[in-house]
Copies of this chain bind each other. A is one copy, B any other.
C-alpha cells in the first residue's frame, strides 16, 4: 500500500501547519503585543498559502487516485477507508479555490481582529465596517469558486458543518423558533432574584475557582492551559497541548460557565484519536459536534442541580461576600434565570437559541445581498427587538459583540445551536448508558462521563460525518424535540432546587 503511505506522509506536514496556525492564533489572542498584528497577518497568510499549495498540488491528487484503488476492498469503517473519503471531499473542495484567495482570506481575517477589538471597545461600528466589507467581499469571491449548489450560504456552512445544508438548518431552526418564542414568554423569570450574581467577583478568585472546576472535570496541567482573553475560545496544537481561555468580568462570575464550556471543547480535542494525530481524520468532526461537547459541560453538567449540590460550597467559599448568605435553591434559580439579554455568550439556556437564529438569518441576508453591511447595526437591533423584546443601547452590546465576522467566519454561528440541540440527545444517551451519572455528579466524579464521551463521540475524529457520529452515539439523527422537551421540563414549571 505504497500510495496510501505516501499520501499520509504528504498530509502530515499540512496538519502540522494547521496546528501551528491554531497556536499562533491562540498566541495572538492571549499573549502577542498588540503591534505584532502586522507581522502575524503576514505569517498566517504564508502558512495558509503553503498549507493550501501542498494540499491542492497535483501530487496529492495523483496519490489520492492511487490510494483509492489500494483501499477498495477495505472495510468502509476502517481508518484508511475513512481517510480516503475525508481527503477526497476536502480535495475536491480545495482545488476550486486559488491559493492566493485563501491567503488573502487568512490575512484579512487576522488584520481585522485588532480593528474589531478597538471598535468593540469604542462601540463604533463605522471603524470596523471597512474591515468587515473586505472580509465579506472575499467570501463572495470564495462562493464564486463553487457552482452547482442549492444556495450560496451552503458553501460557507459546509466549512464549519460538513454535509449539512442551509435548508436543513432552516427547518430545525424554524421548529425551534416556533417553540422558543412562546416558551420564553411563558417561562421568563423576571422576578427571580439574581442580584447577588452582580457585584464584586475579584478576577483572581474567579481564576482560582475556574481552575478548580476544570481540575475536577479532569484538566491535567501537563497537557492543558487556561488563560484569560477577550473572547473565550479553545485551541491547541494536538491531543497533548490543549489551550482553553476565558474572560474574567470583575462584576459577575459568568467566567465559570465560559470556562466549563471551553473545557468541553478542550476535552474533545484532548480525546481525539491519538493514532490519527497527523491525519485529517484525527481532527474534530464538525463545529456542531464540537459545540455539543462544550454545551454539554456548560449546561447539562454546569447548570444542573446534582453538580451544584456538590460544588456550591466551593463557590460560596470563593465569594463569601456575594454568596455566603445565599441558599443553594436561590443560587440555582438565579443561574438558571430566563431573561432576554443582549449578549449571546451570557444568555440563559432558553433565550440562547434566539441569539443564534438571528445571526443565522442576518448571515443569509448578507450572503444573498438582502442587507447592506453599513445597515447591519439597524438590522441587528430590529431582530433583537423582535425576538428578545430588547432595545440595543450600543454596538458593543449588539452587532460588534462577537469576534466571528472579524475573522470572516460566516456560517459558523448556526453550529452553536445545532451543537446545543445535539448536546441534549448525547446527554440523554450517556445518562442511560452510565446509569448513575446524576449520583456521580453529586459526588464530583466525572471520569465515567469523560470516558463515555471519549468512546462514543471523540474517538471517531473526522472519520464519520457529523450526522453519522450523532447516529452512532445516540441511535438518532439531529432532532430538536429532546432539546425542547429538556427546556420544557427544566424551565416549564419554574426552576427549583
Q: A78 within 8 Å of B by Cβ?
A: no
Contacts A23-B24, A50-B50 given; indicate if A36 touches B223 (C-beta within 8 A).
Answer: yes
Contacts A33-B242, A49-B13 given; indicate if A40 touches B222 (C-beta within 8 A).
Answer: no
Which chain B positions have C-beta within 8 A of A32?
237, 241
Binary per-residue interface labels of chain A (35-74) against chain B in the complex, 1 for a CB within 8 Å, 0 otherwise: 1101110110011011000000000000000000000000
Of A14-22, A150-158, A247-255, the segment with at least 4 beta carbons within 8 Å of chain B is A14-22
Distance (whole angstroms) from the CB of A212 to the closest CB of chain B: 18
Q: A85 within 8 Å of B by Cβ?
A: no
Measured CA separation A35–B13 after assembly (Å): 20
Measured CA separation A242–B39 after assembly (Å): 11
A13–B222 contact, CB under 8 A? no
Q: A361 within 8 Å of B by Cβ?
A: no
Q: Which of B12, B19, B39, B239 has a CB less than 8 Å from the CB of A237?
A: B39
Q: Which of B34, B46, B221 has a CB less than 8 Å from the CB of A16?
A: B46
B36–A240 contact, CB under 8 A? yes
Which chain B positions have C-beta within 8 A of A12?
42, 46
Q: A371 within 8 Å of B by Cβ?
A: no
B24–A223 contact, CB under 8 A? no
Q: A326 within 8 Å of B by Cβ?
A: no
Measured CA separation A34–B223 after assembly (Å): 6
Which chain B positions have C-beta within 8 A of A36?
223, 237-238, 240-241
Q: A215 within 8 Å of B by Cβ?
A: no
Measured CA separation A35–B16 after assembly (Å): 16
Question: How many residues from A make CB contacts under 8 Å with B?
Answer: 38
A16–B31 contact, CB under 8 A? no
Residue of B nearest to A236 (CB): B36
Which chain B positions have C-beta within 8 A of A19?
39, 43
Find residues 274-296 in chain A having any chain B CB closer than 8 Å to their own CB.
277-278
Measured CA separation A38–B278 after assembly (Å): 12
Measured CA separation A420–B401 after assembly (Å): 52
Contacts A43-B20, A47-B20 given; indicate if A240 touches B27 (C-beta within 8 A).
Answer: no
Contacts A23-B27, A27-B23, A27-B27 given; indicate if A40 touches B278 (C-beta within 8 A).
Answer: no
Measured CA separation A47–B43 after assembly (Å): 12
Interface on chain A toward B: helix, strand, loop, or mixed SS?
helix
Measured CA separation A171–B305 after assembly (Å): 77
Q: A380 within 8 Å of B by Cβ?
A: no
A35–B237 contact, CB under 8 A? no
Which chain B positions have C-beta within 8 A of A240?
33, 35-36, 38-39
Distance (whole angstroms) from the CB of A266 to the closest CB of chain B: 11
Measured CA separation A40–B34 after assembly (Å): 25
A33–B223 contact, CB under 8 A? yes
Q: A142 within 8 Å of B by Cβ?
A: no
B43–A225 contact, CB under 8 A? no
Q: Which of B38, B225, B277 has a CB less than 8 Å from the CB of A33?
A: B225
Q: A224 within 8 Å of B by Cβ?
A: yes
Contacts A33-B223, A222-B34 given; indicate if A42 touches B278 (C-beta within 8 A).
Answer: yes
Distance (whole angstroms) from the CB of A273 to the closest CB of chain B: 14
Which chain B positions have C-beta within 8 A of A224?
33
Measured CA separation A32–B43 after assembly (Å): 20
B20–A241 contact, CB under 8 A? no
Residue of B nearest to A47 (CB): B20
Which chain B positions have C-beta within 8 A of A39?
19, 237-241, 277
Which chain B positions have C-beta within 8 A of A222?
33-35
B20–A24 contact, CB under 8 A? yes
Residue of B nearest to A16 (CB): B46
Which chain B positions have C-beta within 8 A of A42?
12, 16, 278
Measured CA separation A35–B221 after assembly (Å): 9
Residue of B nearest to A238 (CB): B39
Measured CA separation A129–B241 after assembly (Å): 27
Measured CA separation A17–B16 after assembly (Å): 13
B221–A46 contact, CB under 8 A? no
A221–B20 contact, CB under 8 A? no
Which chain B positions have C-beta within 8 A of A24?
20, 23
A/B interface sample: 25 pairs, CB < 8 A: A12-B46, A13-B46, A13-B50, A16-B47, A19-B43, A20-B24, A20-B43, A20-B47, A23-B27, A31-B31, A33-B221, A33-B223, A35-B220, A35-B222, A36-B223, A36-B237, A36-B238, A38-B238, A38-B240, A39-B237, A39-B238, A39-B239, A39-B240, A39-B277, A50-B50
